[in-house]
Chain A
Amino acid sequence: MSTENKYPMMQISFVLNGKACGTTIEPRELLIDVLREKFQLTGTKRSCDVQVCGACTVLVDGLPVSSCSTLAAEVDARDVQSIEGLSQHGQLDPIQRAFVEHGAMQCGFCTPGMVLAVKSLLAQDPHPNEETIRHYLRGNICRCTGYVKIIEAINDLASRHG
């Protein structure tokens, strides 16, 4: 089998966790591999590989996408946020803090995707009710089934003023 690449490579530049960056990719490369291997950002987890589980969720222009099924070429000229970009100056994001305070994680594998999905939800709707929270997170699966604590953490965030 030939491994020679006869297809043209592509240059992409994008903002990653607040910093401008660029790289050269094959058109078929997936965002998750570029994040994990080229940028060493291994907080983004691969699991189902078919957009069902949510473990690989990152935000592109503030909206959640499955990085396992998104071509890296798609993020050219866009803004990408992975879990590593959430804390500021060594301080956890309020969502991360709420997850810690409520013990909203067990093995932690789904947590990066879960936290980023919540980030996007609260940016659109700072005070969602529980039905909205459950609907939005339908595609983020926690195989430890730690949902009660996760919902508690988000309810807490949603009930805060400001």
Chain B
Amino acid sequence: MTHYEPVIGLEVHAQIHTASKMFCRCPVVEDTGDLEPNTYVCPVCTAMPGTLPVINRRAVELTIMTGLALNCEILPVSRFARKSYFYPDLPKGYQISQHGLPLARDGYLEIDTENGPRRVRIDNVHLEEDTGKLFHVGNVSLVDFNRAGVPLIEIVTKPDMRSAEEVRAFAVKLREILVYLGVNSGDMEKGVMRFEASVSVRPVGSDELMPRHEIKNLNSFRALARAVAYEIEQQIKTLESGGRVTQETMGWDDARGVTYTQRTKEYAHDYRYFPEPDLPPLEVSREWVESLRRQLPELPDARRARFRAEYGLGDFETELLVADRAVADYFETAVGLGKVSPKTLANWITGDLFRLMKETRRGIDEIPVSPEGLVDLIRRVEEGTVNLNTGREILEEMVATGKEARQIIEEKGLAQISDEVALREIIEQVLDQHPAQVEQYLGGKTQVAGWLMGQVMKATRGRANPQLVRSLLTEALEARREAR
């Protein structure tokens, strides 16, 4: 029986989060779904005759930085090109893209696979503009150009991936890097990243180029991985039953979990690229590249290694902290205050804070608890002002109200009772209320002490310092033995 090997390449489109569009000064606004159509447009991004594009420098810089982060060569001369196709979401009848001379090419991204790390080669990284949006109503379509002209970065890989899992790992890692670079918000639900996968299968050992299926418009990691897995399975079935796979453009039906042949002429393959006459070439000097390299933030892999070495954290908590740049920054700010150990902070953040963020559906930069506020709370637990359980309740209150720990402790009277006189009084009351249990204890059933301890904690609404209660309770019981 023949064994088959999938061959998969990816094209990733990600919006670049600049303040203004790629070739005009219209603001780039977040697509919240309820934006009024055509309220962020101008003559340039709606392709009025006589208008001219001007390149947004920041978009170029972020693309070069992405190229550097993906270990690419940055081309000394780069150029924009017109990619012609006719679809009403494209007002000019062509998209300004790059062809032949992209900003960056020949890089790689290393991913973890079940067979160890593997390099996925990057063919090129280039810059282009997004299209508008169409709404189909009966036999007409409505066009909204708010998104038209938003800068898009396109990352094209070589066909180096061999399974749906590898494709997913690549996409997840790429998203992480784009978020770290500040290129993209990573907010997949808002459509800021889109994938196209090209999938073929061939007999293991062969390096023949097989006809591929290109699956368009995959907007989530889940859809991407499912569509690729489905295609691999279908193509192997076709080949095993003696059929042939033909080159095709496919869509993905997420509800039914199947790919389907796209019959639209939307994706004509002859784009008649030619150099954009309205945009002079870009000369990217070594100095410019080096100054951008210096602006690169620490990338996720380097940060992971450092978190393990510098803070002594394990793989699992490191992964949880580093996956989101805002969380990793929060953690490091908190560690930097020098009052709480990294390990303790990691526990609080990946435990209670993550749970509360999830419950309130907020990111770490959206909750009203600052790193200083969290450290202050943990110190109060460590110093014994409040016990651990109370501390966790206070954190919940802090997330809900934005109040400081000190204020909540005062308002609710949560401070741990470490006043010996007060505790002795409470213990005596509890012992008086439960003479039977006291008798049992004095009769040798010492485990009853635990139950009595629970009664004391209950009487103090959990605020008593447990170590102190334990020793004072033993003292009080022994005093009763002597008094008999």
Q: Do A and B bind each other?
A: no
Residues of B within 8 A of A (CB): none
